[in-house]
Chains A and B, each alone.
Chain A
């Protein structure tokens, strides 16, 4: 390694990014007739939008020289590798695929991340605030608790004022709140954090050669047994068609009798 590169490597930190394969945000979904879940057959799958934002943020840290290595982690069936490849095409250095065909709930995912973090020793784990299929918004928080690390959730901005610390501006109900975290820490991304880059050609070609390590929950010594059972999934009630009214009087009448005024 050249002197400058070596210095940069020592100075920079490793960042772990979680990327989940979910039903494409633009796809129309249908509930299975037996109410057991959403019909995933022949539906387009893509990277969870908040995970895209996480990868983008990690790449920006790398470009600023703050991060030295970005590792993309995905968990699930074989097809999760496609999602890792997208992260690699956005610039991540390597991937880790936790292979399992079983359902993975947030606590199991958090435990798996904990096991991986123990091996990889990242200074920061960046996750999407939630996945658009489960909308749980639990994994990041659970991981921070398990690791006893500080957390900056719903991040709309992440700064590094000094060595070993991060300032995270969070989107909260009352507005924006900035917290100062010591590293290592968990950050979960919110929509306004950044606009993810497209996967561009030179990187897409390079991505094919980047390594993806495969492990199983057993290898990591994690029990992923589900603790929550989904009883029923139903579609929201159909919106009734609107009614075209003839006069203001009719409108006032409807507002009084049908709408709650």
Chain B
């Protein structure tokens, strides 16, 4: 009933844990007849309250559907059930020399059905792209219980409208994903991680520009965190270590390269870093010399959201903003909230995705009022997206207007009505309530 952040609590009295697509089909057919609302739930690690009931909707958990159906090492396509945990999938794939095309902090708990339904992004989006590209097939149970099989393991299939794309990112409101076929890339033979410090956001952008041209095809992640993020992380995380204790940077970068030849990659990386140091864009940095050090650097970036969740109150924003102005928003919010709360900015810089978080000891409506709708309006005015990867869920259900036109929203509502006329699938989420039918 409660989400990962502890922010959204529902009042469901019933949770179902089907073991097969057939059982899911029977459940939904029954619920559709009796107009009972259902919340599909995977690992329950979503950050916008999309995976928990709002009232007493029935929770439909995919956790027991955790079989890997097949892995084809030659084509790289893996077919698995929706309840498979991301990290477990990655470990199994590594035995075939493959890897999952996405990676996020919640990997130990999140399930692939949920990842697909939220079109999850993560730290490797820069290199492997969106699930809209990596998902080559789906099996979905529709609201009336019928099983839609758009499951193929083919790379290319231009026969009619690509229905599976609708379900990717629909947050469980158009159907329940029960199986996915994912195109998995080869596991890189060489991986190098560096942790760098920069003096200004302008320098960060310069490093990114150079990374794209100098590291090009081997660049696999480009993440940033600001000084305040690192300060809070070092303060709150257990066994936290600052790789660059002698320098007080304003911004820190985690840059990862992945390739098929360690010597070539390291040579490229060294040359790139040398140029960045020479021109001053990078003040200092460290390069991981072994697997343990690589994990250390990633632990810092992935640990920031975790330590932030330990504060009494957290206001979380996931925004796509043009790179040049991205950090300006953080600075403006920080100025507005001076003395009231800590404001941090971090995220997938390479994808133009900022995670803006405001934390304090206690929740306050007044503080919320200072942040919203200011952040959404600012983002909208700069042609950004108010939800880069987290989705809309409950949290931003009424805010879609900041990033999509009324015509677009109206077409979405039409699609929702076509797929789920009784509105039993994950109600009170994603699309604004003015559209909801009684259920």
A residues with a Cβ closer than 8 A to B are: 24-28, 42, 44, 46-47, 49, 52, 86, 89, 195, 198-202, 204-205, 208
The answer to whether B277 touches A25 (Cβ under 8 A) is: no
Q: How distant is the Cα of A256 from the Cα of B275 in the complex, in angstroms?
A: 68
Contacts of B289 in A (CB 8 A): 46-47, 52, 86, 89, 198-199
Closest-by-CB residue of B relative to A22 is B290
Other contacts beyond A202-B277, A204-B270: 10, CB < 8 A? A25-B290, A27-B291, A47-B289, A52-B289, A52-B290, A86-B289, A89-B287, A200-B244, A205-B277, A208-B270
Q: How distant is the Cα of A71 from the Cα of B244 in the complex, in angstroms?
A: 25
Q: Which residue of B189, B191, B285, B293 is within 8 Å of A42 (Cβ)?
A: B189
Q: Judge whether B274 is part of the interface by a CB distance below 8 angstroms.
A: yes
The answer to whether B291 touches A26 (Cβ under 8 A) is: yes
The answer to whether A200 touches B285 (Cβ under 8 A) is: yes
The answer to whether B284 touches A199 (Cβ under 8 A) is: no
Q: How distant is the Cα of A87 from the Cα of B274 in the complex, in angstroms?
A: 18
Closest Cβ–Cβ distance, residue A23 to chain B (whole Å): 10
13 contacts between A and B (CB under 8 A): A42-B189, A46-B289, A46-B290, A47-B290, A49-B290, A52-B290, A198-B288, A199-B287, A199-B289, A201-B286, A201-B287, A204-B287, A205-B277
Q: How distant is the Cα of A44 from the Cα of B292 in the complex, in angstroms?
A: 12
Q: How distant is the Cα of A47 from the Cα of B290 in the complex, in angstroms?
A: 7
The answer to whether B277 touches A198 (Cβ under 8 A) is: no
Closest Cβ–Cβ distance, residue B262 to chain A (whole Å): 8
Contacts of B244 in A (CB 8 A): 200
How many A-B contacts if CB must be within 8 Å?
62
Q: How distant is the Cα of A82 from the Cα of B119 in the complex, in angstroms?
A: 40
- Name which of A42, A198, A205 has the most chain B CB atoms within 10 A of its CB: A198
The answer to whether B293 touches A204 (Cβ under 8 A) is: no
The answer to whether B286 touches A200 (Cβ under 8 A) is: yes
Closest Cβ–Cβ distance, residue B70 to chain A (whole Å): 22
Q: Judge whether B282 is part of the interface by a CB distance below 8 angstroms.
A: yes
Cβ proximity bits B335-357 to A, threshold 8 Å, 1 near / 0 not: 00000000000000000000000
Q: How distant is the Cα of A200 from the Cα of B274 in the complex, in angstroms?
A: 12
Contacts of A205 in B (CB 8 A): 270, 273-274, 277
Contacts of B277 in A (CB 8 A): 201-202, 205
Q: How distant is the Cα of A208 from the Cα of B274 in the complex, in angstroms?
A: 11
Cβ proximity bits B178-193 to A, threshold 8 Å, 1 near / 0 not: 0000000000011100
The answer to whether B284 touches A201 (Cβ under 8 A) is: yes
The answer to whether A201 touches B290 (Cβ under 8 A) is: no
Contacts of B196 in A (CB 8 A): 201
Contacts of B287 in A (CB 8 A): 89, 198-199, 201, 204
Contacts of A86 in B (CB 8 A): 289
Q: How distant is the Cα of A204 from the Cα of B195 in the complex, in angstroms?
A: 13
Contacts of B243 in A (CB 8 A): 198
Q: Judge whether B209 is part of the interface by a CB distance below 8 angstroms.
A: no
The answer to whether B295 touches A26 (Cβ under 8 A) is: yes
Q: How distant is the Cα of A170 from the Cα of B277 in the complex, in angstroms?
A: 41
Closest Cβ–Cβ distance, residue A197 to chain B (whole Å): 9
- Name which of B94, B284, B286, B290 has the most chain A CB atoms within 10 A of its CB: B290
Q: How distant is the Cα of A44 from the Cα of B289 in the complex, in angstroms?
A: 11
Q: How distant is the Cα of A173 from the Cα of B418 in the complex, in angstroms?
A: 73
The answer to whether B284 touches A202 (Cβ under 8 A) is: yes
- Name which of A47, A195, A199 has the most chain B CB atoms within 10 A of its CB: A199
Q: How distant is the Cα of A202 from the Cα of B280 in the complex, in angstroms?
A: 12
Contacts of A27 in B (CB 8 A): 291
Closest Cβ–Cβ distance, residue A112 to chain B (whole Å): 24
Closest-by-CB residue of A relative to B263 is A82
The answer to whether B290 touches A24 (Cβ under 8 A) is: yes
The answer to whether B293 touches A198 (Cβ under 8 A) is: yes
Closest Cβ–Cβ distance, residue B86 to chain A (whole Å): 18
The answer to whether B285 touches A201 (Cβ under 8 A) is: yes
- Name which of A26, A86, A208 has the most chain B CB atoms within 10 A of its CB: A26
Q: How distant is the Cα of A201 from the Cα of B287 in the complex, in angstroms?
A: 7
Contacts of B273 in A (CB 8 A): 201, 204-205
Closest-by-CB residue of B relative to A203 is B286
Contacts of B189 in A (CB 8 A): 42
Contacts of A46 in B (CB 8 A): 289-291
Q: How distant is the Cα of A52 from the Cα of B290 in the complex, in angstroms?
A: 10
Contacts of A201 in B (CB 8 A): 196, 273, 277, 282, 284-287
Closest Cβ–Cβ distance, residue A16 to chain B (whole Å): 20
Q: How distant is the Cα of A21 from the Cα of B289 in the complex, in angstroms?
A: 12
Cβ proximity bits B190-202 to A, threshold 8 Å, 1 near / 0 not: 1100011000000
Q: How distant is the Cα of A46 from the Cα of B291 in the complex, in angstroms?
A: 8
Q: Which of B258-278 touch A at CB < 8 Å?
A: 262, 270, 273-274, 277
Q: How distant is the Cα of A169 from the Cα of B262 in the complex, in angstroms?
A: 39
Closest Cβ–Cβ distance, residue A208 to chain B (whole Å): 7
Shortest 5 CB-CB distances between A and B: which pairs?
Answer: A26-B291, A46-B290, A198-B286, A24-B291, A201-B285
Q: How distant is the Cα of A44 from the Cα of B187 in the complex, in angstroms?
A: 12
Contacts of B284 in A (CB 8 A): 200-202
Closest Cβ–Cβ distance, residue B103 to chain A (whole Å): 16
Contacts of A195 in B (CB 8 A): 241
Contacts of B282 in A (CB 8 A): 201
The answer to whether A25 touches B292 (Cβ under 8 A) is: yes
Closest Cβ–Cβ distance, residue A33 to chain B (whole Å): 15
Q: How distant is the Cα of A25 from the Cα of B295 in the complex, in angstroms?
A: 12
The answer to whether A44 touches B291 (Cβ under 8 A) is: yes
Q: How distant is the Cα of A200 from the Cα of B249 in the complex, in angstroms?
A: 14
Closest Cβ–Cβ distance, residue A87 to chain B (whole Å): 10
The answer to whether A26 touches B274 (Cβ under 8 A) is: no
Q: How distant is the Cα of A199 from the Cα of B195 in the complex, in angstroms?
A: 11
Closest Cβ–Cβ distance, residue B310 to chain A (whole Å): 25
Contacts of A44 in B (CB 8 A): 190-191, 262, 290-291
Contacts of A200 in B (CB 8 A): 244, 284-286
Q: Which of B203-260 touch A at CB < 8 Å?
A: 241, 243-244
Closest-by-CB residue of A relative to B283 is A201
Q: How distant is the Cα of A204 from the Cα of B274 in the complex, in angstroms?
A: 9
Q: How distant is the Cα of A95 from the Cα of B317 in the complex, in angstroms?
A: 50
Closest Cβ–Cβ distance, residue A70 to chain B (whole Å): 16
The answer to whether A25 touches B291 (Cβ under 8 A) is: yes
The answer to whether B290 touches A26 (Cβ under 8 A) is: yes
